[in-house]
Amino acid sequence: MNGYVLRKGDLLTARDGVGLITKTTKNYIYYLFKGSVCRSKKKTIWEYHDIKNRVDIKYGSMSRRKKQRKMRTLDLHGVKHNDADEEIRKFLNFVELPCSIITGKSDEMKKIASSIVKEYGWDELGDFVNIRCFNYDPSIKSSLKFLRRTPWARKKVEGLYLELLKEN
């Protein structure tokens, strides 16, 4: 989970070879790879680094380099439920929103949705995330079904849950 802001001159290493970062913008990283200039989204690079462990980063100079806190992902697949609370708290202490936590289809997701509903109620939740399953005939079952299929709504609800965890 230790990552720093990427800069010109850093190396991205993967199975296929090594890429030298030539330019960074707000959303993209440009790098030289096998004689060609390539472009990738920063979010994609961090997903491959954090989750899939397919990209390794070799940093150049470490002077005045800040930690990368946004666009980070925590994958809880394979983590025991007893250890999940500690992993989530460590992750939340390190990152800033937007971030994502991948939970899968477990009873824990029901717990997350239920705790948010208890805290805010359906009316307030419908105001925060304007989706039909929160505003018209709301239920946990219909909400979970919709959230599994709709990434943008799931991110909003997970963000709300993260805020709720930080408050407690």
* Cα separation, 81 vs 159, whole angstroms: 20
**In sequence order, what are the beta bridge partners of 40?**
29
For the chain, the structural domain boundaries read 11-58, 73-167
Number of H-type helices and E-type strands within the chain: 6, 7
| For the ranges 15-19, 100-104, 157-161, the one whose mean pLDDT is highest | 15-19
Fold type of domain 73-167: 1.10.720
Q: Using a cut of 0.75, tell me whether the model's pTM lies above it.
A: no
Residue 114: is its pLDDT beyond 70?
A: no
Do residues 52 and 41 touch, judged by C-beta distance below 8 A?
Answer: no
Which pair of tokens denotes residue 63?
Answer: 């002077």
